[in-house]
Chain A
Amino acid sequence: MRKLWLGLMTIWILMPLPLHAGTVDINPEYNALNTQAQQSMALSPPELKELLLRCTNLQTRLPELSGAEKKIMHRKLRRLCALFSYVLASKQSPPK
Chain B
Amino acid sequence: MSYRSGTVVLLFLSGLLLPGLLFGAQYALPELPSPALYGNLLMDRASSRGGVKPVSFSHWTHRTRYTCRVCHDELEFDMAVGSTEIDCNDVKDGRYCGACHNGKQAFGRQDNCVYCHTGDIAFRSDQFAGFSRELTPDEFGNQIDWSQMMRRGQIEPLNYLYAKPSETSFEKTLKLDAAWGRIPPAVFPHKEHNQWVGCDTCHPDLFNIRKQGTEHFTMARILKGEFCGYCHLKVAFPINACERCHPGMSR
Could you name 20 residue pairs across A and B whose Cβ atoms are closer than 8 Å? A34-B74, A35-B163, A35-B165, A37-B73, A37-B165, A38-B165, A38-B167, A40-B199, A41-B169, A67-B90, A68-B86, A68-B95, A69-B95, A76-B76, A82-B204, A82-B205, A83-B200, A83-B204, A90-B210, A95-B209
B-side residues, CB < 8 A to A, are 73-76, 85-86, 89-90, 93, 95-96, 162-170, 194, 198-200, 203-205, 208-210, 213
* Of the residues B90, B168, B208, B210, contact of A39 by C-beta under 8 Å: B168
B210-A95 in contact (CB<8A):
yes
How far, in Å, is B184 (CB) from chain A's closest CB?
A: 24
CB distance from A80 to the nearest CB of B (A): 6
B residues in contact with A59, CB < 8 Å = none
- Which residues on A are within 8 Å of B, measured CB to CB? 31-32, 34-42, 67-69, 71-72, 75-76, 79-80, 82-83, 85-87, 89-90, 95
Find out whether the CB atom of A80 lies under 8 angstroms from the CB atom of B200.
Answer: yes
Residues from chain B with a CB closer than 8 A to the CB of A37 are: 73, 165, 198-200
Other than the known A40-B169, A82-B204, A86-B204, what 12 A-B pairs have Cβ atoms closer than 8 Å?
Answer: A34-B163, A35-B163, A38-B199, A41-B169, A41-B199, A68-B89, A68-B90, A68-B96, A71-B76, A80-B200, A83-B199, A95-B213
CA distance A3 to B90 in the complex (A): 56
A38 cross-chain contacts in B, Cβ below 8 A = 165-169, 194, 198-199
Question: Across the interface, do A79 and B96 meet the contact criterion of CB distance under 8 Å?
Answer: no
Which residue of chain A has the shortest Cβ distance to B190 in the bound complex?
A41
Q: How far is the CA of A56 from the CA of B91 in the complex (A)?
A: 28
- B76 and A72 within 8 A (CB): yes
Kindly report which residue of chain A lies nearest to residue B92, judged by CB atoms: A68
Q: Which residues of A contact B170 (CB under 8 A)?
A: 41-42
